[in-house]
Amino acid sequence: MNTKYKKEKGEKWEILVGENYQNQWYMLVEKNYTIPWWELDLIFQKNNILTFVEVKVIDHIDELQDYVTQKKLWHVKHTINYYLLTHPTDKEYTLDVVFVRDNSIFEVYKNVTNS
């Protein structure tokens, strides 16, 4: 799959997910925060909590856990830690993983950081 197409497809679903969070009164802080080799899709704030959101487009795999491996979580958490190091805050944080399927939000894993 061509990289440009994949990026455009990802942006489409990030917009869908972003609008969903904003409809729940989350304020968008940043999108596509990137460090070498990794990216945080969306970062929101609601009250005094930062919510980092990883958007995953699913197609044929029924086991959602197959999309969220320990290695993937390690990379995401490492990127969150780097973000917090470079953007000091006293806010708590959480990580949500949002699965998109058939043009809609299929399922949301909330607060994956405590898993």
What is the 8-class DSSP label of residue 72?
Answer: H
Look at strands 49-57 and 92-101 and give their pairing: parallel
Domain ranges of the chain: 3-114
Residue 1, pLDDT > 60, answer no
Residue 64, pLDDT > 90, answer no
Mean local confidence (pLDDT), 57-81? 82
Please report, as a single letter, which amino acid is at residue 50: L
**What does CATH list as the number for 3-114?**
3.40.1350.10
Higher pLDDT, 8 or 99: 99
- Lowest average pLDDT, out of 28-32, 61-65, 85-89, goes to 61-65
Torsional class of 9: left (φ above 0), alpha (ψ -120 to 50), beta (otherwise): alpha
What band does 5 get if pLDDT is binned at 50, 70 and 90? Answer: very low
Q: Residue 62: what pLDDT?
A: 67
Contacts of residue 101, Cβ cutoff 8 Å, sequence gap at least 6 = 57, 58, 59
Mean local confidence (pLDDT), 61-80? 82
